[in-house]
Amino acid sequence: MRWLSRLIKKGEEGQVLVVAALGLAALLGFAALAIDVGFFVWERRALQNAADASALAGVMELPNSPTAAVAMANDYAVRNGVGDRGWVVESINVDATAITVSVAHPNAPLMLGRVLGLLGVNVGARSTAAINSPYRLSNVMPWMLKRSVYEAASNDDLVILKYDARNPEQGNFGPLAIGRRGAAAYRRNIEEGAVVELQGEYDTEPGNMVGPTEQGLQRRLSETDMECDEWHEAFSLDGGGTLHLSPRCNPWLGKEGSKRVVAIPVVEDTDLHGRTRVRIVGLALAFLEGFQCPRGNECQVQARLVKAVASLEDPDSLLGPFDPNVGIRVLRLVQ
């Protein structure tokens, strides 16, 4: 400390004390500011979590009930701390397919920043959640549903995807040629699923296809997860009445999931005559109940139609705007 003592010359002791006092005050001010900034970073993150949870809860009620969406968003905001510590919901804006929630702590008090003359700051966060639909999807079965059948169906309704020989329509029994034509490609699409796009055009696959249908389904259903082998194991209702696909049984999460959970192309109502070109206007979510091929020219595939919320993390699947003709709703934060 000899160097310091040399700096303090006779008669300068008072000046050093003044400088030291000013330096100490500045250090205390910066320390106080650092503590307050850290606190507000934490509070901003907590407010963002509350806004995210509120928006995701509210969007589950869309597009059917905007009023219920607002109520649900408010409820989840309270569950996540709004109403305490001076937190408030500033606004909730809803349209047909999205909801935006803003939460804030107006004039949040500073703990130590008053040293610098700061009394309070506004802290806030905003989150937007939206409904999306896949416009390209994997795990699609090579059968088709006409739009009129799909629109008339409700959750858990049983439909026929592939008809037997008693119900042909000009040689068409339900199969589609996706990717390639022929029995081998048709059987492989049943076993592995195909990738299709909305508004894509595909040919019907004329003929009864009894053997490939039975072979493909036997292999597919034999490989399904035993804990996802029933409808009620794959799907469940939340407290608001929204149907959800279980993550364990979800085949679009980069794992096997349930082999019974599939997508079915929905096509425009049209007369079928031999190999006919059809346009996909929707994608139905379905649970394969089974198939019956009792004899020779008879083979019928049945499934339960579902409209549910599910996650998609499959690289072959792409999301687009909400489409009521798609049975899978994807809820996600977009802002």
3-state secondary structure of 31: helix
Q: What is the pLDDT of residues 278-302, one digit of tens each?
A: 999 999 999 999 887 776 677 788 9
Q: What is the pLDDT of residues 314-334, one digit of tens each?
A: 889 999 999 999 999 999 999
45 and 174 both lie in a single domain: no
Q: What pLDDT, on a 0 to 100 scale, did the predictor assign at position 4?
A: 47
pLDDT band, very low/low/confident/very high, at 156 (cuts 50, 70, 90): confident
pLDDT at 119 over 80: no
pLDDT at 19 over 80: no
Cα(295)–Cα(4) distance, rounded to whole angstroms? 105
Cα(61)–Cα(64) distance, rounded to whole angstroms? 6
Q: What pLDDT, on a 0 to 100 scale, did the predictor assign at position 166?
A: 58
Q: What is the pLDDT of residues 222-245, one digit of tens each?
A: 988 889 999 999 999 988 788 999
Q: What pLDDT, on a 0 to 100 scale, did the predictor assign at position 6?
A: 54
Q: Which range marks the domain in which residue 104 is found? A: 11-118
pLDDT at 15 over 70: no
Residue with tokens 């905007």: 66
151 and 241 both lie in a single domain: yes
Q: What is the pLDDT of residues 166-207, one digit of tens each?
A: 556 666 778 899 999 999 999 999 999 999 999 999 999 888
Q: What is the pLDDT of residues 22-50, one digit of tens each?
A: 555 555 555 555 566 667 888 889 999 99
284: Cα separation from own chain's centroid: 16
DSSP state of 116: G
* Residue percentage of the chain with pLDDT more than 70: 82
103 and 174 both lie in a single domain: no
73: Cα separation from own chain's centroid: 17
pTM reported for the whole predicted model = 0.82
Ramachandran area for residue 73 (φ above 0: left; ψ -120 to 50: alpha; else beta): alpha
145 and 102 both lie in a single domain: no
Reply yes or no: is the peptide bond before residue 106 cis, omega within 30 of 0: no
User: Which residue, of 62, 83, 118, is where some domain finishes?
Assistant: 118
160 and 274 both lie in a single domain: yes
107 and 138 both lie in a single domain: no
Domain count, the chain: 2
Q: What string of H, E and C letters represents the secondary structure of 214-273?
A: HHHHHHHHHCCCHHHCCHHHHEEECCCCCEEECCCCCCCCCCCCCCCEEEEEEECCCCCC
Nearest to 209 by CA among 170, 173, 155: 173
